Structure 1
């Protein structure tokens, strides 16, 4: 399953790596790709293993805001 999350506060390569790494550590997430210019994260995941809420929490733990 694929989902695009809108994330505020990402501005540099470090931000990109922090968010991508946090998501990739979650069991069930296969791809996490940040687009800094658009403020979006495209995530490919197995929805039987991981909930969108879990991914949002992982991003917020890195200090960024997920916007609906």
Structure 2
């Protein structure tokens, strides 16, 4: 499944790595694309949407909406 999350608080490359690693802990096969300027995180994963959103939140970022 393809998921798009609107994420607040990503400001640097470290933030991108932290979010990517958190998502890949939920699903090691997940493909993650991040547009930091737009605050968008696109994930291609078989994991449930809420599990992915929870992983982002656990890293300290606000998930404004999950599309």
Report if TM-score (shorter chain) is over 0.5: yes
Kindly provide the CA deviation profile for residues 5-60 of structure 1, in whole angstroms up to 9, marking residues without a partner as x.
Answer: 000000000000000110011136520121101101000011xxx21111111000
More RCO (CA 8 Å, sep 6+): 2
Q: Take 1:60 and 1:29, find their aligned partners in 2: how far apart are those partners?
A: 20
Unaligned runs of 5+ in 1: none
Aligned to 2:62: 65
Aligned to 2:32: 32
Q: Take 1:17 and 1:28, find their aligned partners in 2: how far apart are those partners?
A: 14
Give the ranges of 4+ consecutive aligned residues of structure 1 lying more than 4 Å apart after TM superposition.
Answer: none
Instruction: Rate the CA distance shift 1:28–1:17 in 2: closer, same or farther, 3 A.
Output: closer
